Structure 1
Amino acid sequence: MEDSIQEVEHEHINQRGNESKAASSLSADKLLEKLLRPELATLYTDLKAYGESALKEPLPSLSLRLYRQFSDTGERKAYEQAYFDRRGRLAAVAMLALDTARPDALQALEEMLWDVCGEYTWCLPAHLGTGEVNQVKGNIDLFAAETVHMLAEIVTIHAGQLNHLVIERIRFEAEQRIFTLLYRDLRKFHWQTADHNWSAVCGCCCGMAALLLLQDESTLRESISHTIKCMDAFLSGYGEDGGCAEGIGYWVYGFGYFTYYAEMLREYSEGELDLLTGSKINAIAAFPLRVHLSGGTFVNYSDSSEQEEIPSGLLSLLASRVGLQVDLPLHIPLFTDDPCHRWAHLLRNVMWSNRAVFGDEGASAQAERGFNFRNLGWMIAKGSLDSPDTKRTNGGPLHVAISVKGGHNDEPHNHNDLGQFIIHCGGENILCDPGAGLYTQAYFAPGRERLFHISSSGHNVPLIEGQEQSSGRQAQAHVLEANLAEGGGELDTTLDLTSAYSGAASLARYTRQFHWTMASVGSRDRAELRLVDRFQWKSRNVSSAERFSSVDDSDAGWLSVVERWMSRVQPEVVKSGNLRWQGVHGTVHMTYDANQWQVFTEVMNTVDHDNVPVTFYRTSLSWTGVIDETDVWIERPNPLETVCEVSFIIEPKMGETEVSMRE
């Protein structure tokens, strides 16, 4: 493939003249016309407000005090807030400057570009170790790459109006900080062979900047070859099922930038170099729709958010290029929805968003009601419930779903969460995943598995013999059964999770079985998830004096199990053996054997990825017995096995009259 690529490169580089074909779509007049379309009115209002504010204030300072915080204390939020605000102001003012009647915006844009060119480093301190000079010089991280790409596109769009000194300085800084390192000195960086978002974001951002700014033929050819190798590394992290182990947020990040480069390269090469082809690319493109549950809420394993903004421009481009069927209504993210204010998403939402490719949730265009990611180890089943109440209050059926996670505990942005599951109802993940926590030094340091968002203690998985799940590739979910009925109405899967609990000395085997069905009971539809956990123990005799009973995690010892269920909704005890989580549109009832398991709920206060306080309610079922081969347990069919069987009933929210009648 490389020989044919080089031939095409040579042909098209010689034809490019003084203006790159990659810049052909970056016309200020065309962009302004697109920005003023009616469907972008809300985005434009949001963007303009941010930009007008930026015109009145100086850029925030990236001071030494802020720069040193990460190495001194592990804190990264303050520096990054100022850093991304600078990028946001630059992006907003660059859009305002599309209007030639705004000389004030153009003048401010020049000053901002000059200021960003003068930053000590374009990298984040969190990616520079202790941040010493030798770590800064010659370093390229995600945000240095994003910065050079942003500057390259802005200077291309406004080339006819910007002062020539600004243009020359941007070219100089891009050459010194990026191009010489990558394409002339051929310096090696860890992300070049990474099988996750870093290879895509770093490689593609630098590659797009090269297509726009480089004028030397041999260096440009090297940039294309380099970027394609990065893309091969990135794609190696995906299986043929197209699943993204990093979660939906990092699909947007990694595959988004992959798509942006692929489209620019295709335009540059006049269609000869097209990376958006093949069954694997089609499967990766379909990932966000397969993990969308309903109402803009997604499966959010790993470091992702339930309410993820999928760039409308990205979905529109994928619809036109790979035939992606978008069964979501058009939603163009606001500029301020992204705390990083990423230029690439903003520009392409403006350029590519196409109302015609979007459908309606639940319409006949919805291609899949469930999916088994065989390589990734995720299973998802979706359906809808109907009842007189849903027709009266919601105007339509209630969307419900179940998601189950296998995989292993050494995935990118890993959480120790084998066997984790989500119960979704009416736009809410009622039994949920905590998603990403606040990124600090500790979040990526040794011992990170003790943090709430990463530890199995923050997920819907058990504590066994006082042991949480262990980290590492050896902790792997082995799929014993995975059957998904066509239409998503029934799911049966069984996972062997024994290897995740290597610290549980008495555990011989642990399996988790899920059985999901949908049915009608009287005039009401409902879904049911039956979960069966089987804990098989190694043979040993236990004296009566050694028996204990505890519902406190800290006291849990050998031959003990504490099941945990996480929710943002506080559960109610309906009666013994019956709990209820009342969502906005639906209800989840859990039944269990109260003779064998004791229930208690804890309030877990934490902060999310954006440092916003959030409260979770962790409901636990604690097994209080001890199996002894010599006592009465010997009468059981298998005296060395503990079974926890619970049933979750999901149904539309009932009115007060119905609730009182049922109770």
Structure 2
Amino acid sequence: MTSTAIGPPVQLAESVASGPLLGRWGTVASPGALISILAHPDRALSLPSLRGESPLRALERVRERAEAERGSSWAQPLATQYARYFQDGDRTVYEGGVFARQERLTRAVLMAAAIGSDEWLAEAADGIVLLCEQSSWCWPAHEESCRSRGTVLPDPAAPCLDLGAGDVAAQLAWADHMLGERLDERFPGLRDRLRAEVRWRVLEPFTRRRDWHWLGLDGRVHNWCPWICGNVLVAALRLAEPGAERALQVALAIEGVDRYLAALPGDGSVDEGYEYWWNGACRALEALDVLEYATSGKLSAVNVPVVRETVRFPYRMHLGGAWYVNFADARALPPAEQPWHVPHRWARRIGDPDGVRHAAAHRAETVAPSAELGRALSELADTTWLEAGPAEPPLVASAWLPGTQVGVARTARGTERGLTLAVKGGHNAENHNHNDVGSVVIAVDGVPAVADAGRPTYTAQTFGPDRYAIWTMQSGWHNVPEVRGTPQGQGASFAAGDVAVVDGPDAFQMRLDLAGAYPVEGLERWWRTARLDREAGSVRIEDSWAFTDAGPPSEVRFLLAGQVRREAPGQVTVRPPGGGRAAVLSWNPERAVGSLAERELDDPTLIAVWGDRLTRLRLELPGTASGSVLVHVEVRP
């Protein structure tokens, strides 16, 4: 495919605003310097050997899946599936076919590299050609031109660079890296086609356009930036010709990762939630691994403070088992098969034994059949990871992350048993935001009983103008007050105030004023105090308010997961999903009238986490000018 350039390539400004990377590396990361320090494309990416006993054993599940599907028809994404996003909002059917195609190609490449047969090489070549002939690598939810043109199908002449396009470019680069010479022998011309497609669809748009929203040049940086920039980095290192243009592509990718890291708070926390750490901060770590290898260690980020801190974020958010703190769009029970070798390797490098233990505790014996190609190859190249023994997660006693105003504390370090409390301040314009300022999560033996529902299946509505019509995004379905019939407002101005944390050996307490989150006239203060008492093994959630005068009643609401039963006036028990011990919530029924209402779930994403229902506890408060209510939570013996 040929392309027509639109204007000259972008040039980096002489003085780019430096983040934690460029501030440390300086001109060494400039395009001029990169020309001389970047390895040749044949040596720019690591080349793991897949022929040994350990890699073959790690590929056992990949091989089983690959052998089962070889000879069958490849997934074929259809125009009718693409169009559905613009017609009825469904994005999962088309994306499912795209993901199935790419996952099958990854398995074929791994088998062709590990076993070396012509049959697997042909399977990989088929997958590469299918991707090259796919009309667009952009997912329909991200296509920027359809609505303006009044169409429901992408324009191949105007490729859109999104997460999907970046993923394909990097996958093709890794496939070329692993199979290049053999592809030349068996399918001459295929590698030229592959390079032309990546250049036209990804590398040229990346260098010639600086108006991509995900670059964060407007100051709003999120996980797309390191995700796409990391994939472009891989594609440029392997598939671009050595010289000034390749160096510019790499420099721009570095600048993007640097901008993302600069946007993270110093504590390394991620406002999108733990689940999104894997496709934000973890993507940045992977890009830094690639960059360090391609520059023979001249560009290393191992001593960058925010990088070291974000490596700790996953285990700070761990509740127990497969459960995690899940504010924002994250799920409390996220996918377990993640590239755990990445935080394991980085924890080893920064000397963090808790991070090493936490990652090792989640290690699977084999590579996931759905793993991305680059991530699978990185895992297979890490012999220390492949040989890591079993470990117990650290389950830290407490963590306070002021950058996102999230606090987590458990009854005792190193054990799931007992209560774990998580509290969130923040504001209502965070990335993947829910209106949830002041919300809490309370887990019993590592499983949420007072829960955050998370998000339902992605549709066109999820990131559209009607996002907050989705019930899981509204404050009324989070563990926060409803103030005189008014939910929380949406936007950065609706935020927690006067946040104070006390973290000691006997107790963890977080106190914050929620008044700023509610557009209610006459509301002066709404103090929420959440306290975990380790000696008593209990949690106390106290709400106190001050208005200029009396008015309509308010409510405090709690979303309960599992089996819920009213024990007596002022008391309910909650047995979390999976059984186990129950939590007892109690309050003074003379101060607050409680009621329960079940919400049946019909969304597969929510059902996969919570089962068929959640229950909302509503505590009606008097409309007095001032007052308070205390909810006490303990574990049923």
Question: Cα distance, 1:33 vs. partner?
Answer: 4.8
Task: Count how many residue pairs are aligned between Structure 1 and Structure 2.
Answer: 590
Is the aligned partner of 1:11 residue 2:36? yes
The amino acid across from 1:378 in the alignment is V
Question: Cα distance, 1:368 vs. partner?
Answer: 3.9
Question: Cα distance, 1:30 vs. partner?
Answer: 3.7
| Structure 2 match to 1:36 | 56
Question: Cα distance, 1:469 vs. partner?
Answer: 1.2
Residue 332 of structure 1 is aligned with which of 360, 363, 377?
363
* In 1, Cα distance between equivalents of 2:523 and 2:210: 49
> For 1:39-69, what per-residue CA distance to the aligned partner results, in whole angstroms no more than 9, with x for missing partners?
x3xxx34322321233132112111111110
- Which has the larger displacement, 246-255 or 642-651? 642-651
* In 2, Cα distance between equivalents of 1:463 and 1:337: 44
Question: Cα distance, 1:447 vs. partner?
Answer: 2.8
Question: Cα distance, 1:31 vs. partner?
Answer: 6.3
| Structure 1 match to 2:635 | 650
| Structure 2 match to 1:22 | 44
Q: Secondary structure at the match of 1:243?
A: coil
Question: Cα distance, 1:360 vs. partner?
Answer: 3.2
* In 2, Cα distance between equivalents of 1:136 and 1:463: 50
* In 2, Cα distance between equivalents of 1:4 and 1:432: 48
* In 1, Cα distance between equivalents of 2:369 and 2:571: 41
* In 2, Cα distance between equivalents of 1:87 and 1:258: 22
Residue 261 of structure 2 is aligned with which of 208, 217, 235?
235
The amino acid across from 1:207 in the alignment is L
Residue 361 of structure 1 is aligned with which of 386, 389, 392?
392
- Which has the larger displacement, 211-220 or 468-477? 211-220
Question: Cα distance, 1:335 vs. partner?
Answer: 8.4
| Structure 2 match to 1:125 | 140
| Structure 1 match to 2:86 | 71
Question: Cα distance, 1:283 vs. partner?
Answer: 0.6
> For 1:333-386, what per-residue CA distance to the aligned partner results, in whole angstroms no more than 9, with x for missing partners?
5989797x5333333233336166676336xxx484211101110011123399
Tell me the TM-score normalized by structure 1: 0.83
Residue 276 of structure 2 is aligned with which of 220, 236, 250?
250
* In 1, Cα distance between equivalents of 2:311 and 2:388: 14
Structure 1: which 5+ residue stretches go unaligned?
387-395, 520-525, 541-557, 628-639, 655-663
* In 2, Cα distance between equivalents of 1:114 and 1:196: 32
Residue 317 of structure 2 is aligned with which of 291, 302, 316?
291
| Structure 1 match to 2:615 | 618
Contact 1:54 1:93 in 2 (8 A): no
Contact 2:564 2:575 in 1 (8 A): yes
Q: Secondary structure at the match of 1:444?
A: coil
* In 2, Cα distance between equivalents of 1:50 and 1:192: 37
Residue 121 of structure 2 is aligned with which of 103, 106, 120?
106
Q: Secondary structure at the match of 1:346?
A: helix
| Structure 2 match to 1:116 | 131
> For 1:218-239, what per-residue CA distance to the aligned partner results, in whole angstroms no more than 9, with x for missing partners?
0121012101110122112211
The amino acid across from 2:391 in the alignment is D
Alignment of 1:309-458 (within 5 A): 309=336, 310-325=338-353, 326-328=356-358, 329-332=360-363, 341-352=371-382, 354=385, 360-361=391-392, 366=394, 368-384=396-412, 398=417, 400-458=419-477
* In 1, Cα distance between equivalents of 2:81 and 2:606: 17
Q: Secondary structure at the match of 1:372?
A: strand
Contact 2:530 2:540 in 1 (8 A): yes
| Structure 2 match to 1:497 | 514
Q: Secondary structure at the match of 2:617?
A: strand
| Structure 2 match to 1:80 | 95
Distance 1:197 1:119, change over 3 A: same
Residue 570 of structure 2 is aligned with which of 573, 577, 589?
577
| Structure 2 match to 1:548 | none
Contact 2:540 2:633 in 1 (8 A): yes
Is the aligned partner of 1:515 residue 2:531? yes
- Which has the larger displacement, 283-292 or 343-352? 343-352
> For 1:287-337, what per-residue CA distance to the aligned partner results, in whole angstroms no more than 9, with x for missing partners?
001111221321111111223334221122212322232233443359897
| Structure 2 match to 1:588 | 583
> For 1:242-288, what per-residue CA distance to the aligned partner results, in whole angstroms no more than 9, with x for missing partners?
11001111111112221111111111111101133322111111100
Distance 1:355 1:148, change over 3 A: closer
Is the aligned partner of 1:471 residue 2:490? yes
Distance 1:334 1:55, change over 3 A: farther
Distance 1:332 1:168, change over 3 A: farther
| Structure 2 match to 1:144 | 165
Distance 1:132 1:582, change over 3 A: closer
Contact 1:436 1:608 in 2 (8 A): no
Residue 296 of structure 2 is aligned with which of 270, 273, 286?
270
The amino acid across from 1:322 in the alignment is I
Tell me the TM-score normalized by structure 2: 0.87
| Structure 2 match to 1:219 | 245
> For 1:93-113, what per-residue CA distance to the aligned partner results, in whole angstroms no more than 9, with x for missing partners?
222222345322211111111
* In 1, Cα distance between equivalents of 2:133 and 2:632: 60
* In 2, Cα distance between equivalents of 1:443 and 1:127: 12
Q: Secondary structure at the match of 1:158?
A: helix
| Structure 1 match to 2:595 | 600
RMSD across aligned C-alpha pairs, in angstroms?
2.6
* In 2, Cα distance between equivalents of 1:31 and 1:260: 24
- Which has the larger displacement, 312-321 or 611-620? 611-620
Question: Cα distance, 1:609 vs. partner?
Answer: 7.1
Q: Larger Rg: 1 or 2?
A: 1
Distance 1:342 1:468, change over 3 A: farther
* In 1, Cα distance between equivalents of 2:392 and 2:553: 44
| Structure 2 match to 1:530 | 540
* In 2, Cα distance between equivalents of 1:67 and 1:11: 43
The amino acid across from 2:55 in the alignment is L
Contact 2:317 2:324 in 1 (8 A): yes
* In 2, Cα distance between equivalents of 1:463 and 1:199: 36
* In 2, Cα distance between equivalents of 1:335 and 1:68: 37
Question: Cα distance, 1:180 vs. partner?
Answer: 1.9
| Structure 1 match to 2:9 | none
